């Protein structure tokens, strides 16, 4: 029985990128280039770490955001980090760098040398979406101004 090749689901990928643009825009707010926003990630009253968003570049049509997490396991494991390009004209955000790997293809033959999944690009953007959604639903800003 022949295996069918994976076909990129462009509509789903674009939908995920559009949703991530909206999520990131809400979390970034009015950050200026070089500034960082930290959101404490809390689940059932337990602090799990902090989602860090650093606006690295902003141009008329694109922005670049570094998304990372810091927490109690920083010394034990390599915590997730990625670079995300926001495309303002089409209102999409795309993961372009994950754990120092860059330029992901829309599909991969499987198996492959780096063991990427056939839909690796879609999975990375879904992961970003789940991460941001958790920050929006359960996060608490750590960089609010102090009260007098």
Q: What is the DSSP string of 1-26?
A: -PPPPP---HHHHHHHHHHHHHHHHH
pLDDT band at 20 (very low <50, low <70, confident <90, very high): very high
Average pLDDT (35-64) is 90
pTM: 0.79
pLDDT band at 146 (very low <50, low <70, confident <90, very high): very low
Q: Is 70 exceeded by the pLDDT of residue 2?
A: no
pLDDT band at 26 (very low <50, low <70, confident <90, very high): very high
Average pLDDT (27-37) is 93
* Highest mean predicted confidence (pLDDT) among 39-43, 79-83, 127-131: 127-131
**What are all long-range contacts of 63-70, with beta carbons under 8 Å and residues at least 24 apart?**
63/88, 65/24, 65/28, 65/93, 67/128, 67/131, 67/132, 69/41, 69/131
């Amino acid at each position: 029985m022949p295996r069918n090749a994976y076909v990129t689901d462009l509509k789903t990928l674009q939908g995920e990128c559009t949703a991530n643009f909206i999520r990131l825009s809400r979390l970034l707010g009015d950050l200026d280039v070089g500034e960082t926003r930290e959101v404490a990630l809390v689940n059932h009253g337990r602090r799990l770490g902090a989602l860090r968003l650093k606006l690295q570049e902003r141009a008329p049509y694109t922005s670049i955001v570094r998304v990372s997490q810091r927490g109690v396991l920083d010394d034990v494991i390599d915590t997730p980090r990625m670079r995300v390009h926001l495309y303002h004209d089409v209102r999409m955000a795309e993961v372009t760098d994950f754990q120092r790997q860059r330029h992901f293809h829309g599909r991969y033959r499987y198996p492959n040398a780096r063991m990427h999944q056939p839909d690796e690009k879609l999975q990375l953007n879904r992961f970003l979406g789940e991460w941001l959604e958790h920050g929006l639903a359960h996060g608490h800003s750590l960089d609010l101004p102090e009260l007098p």
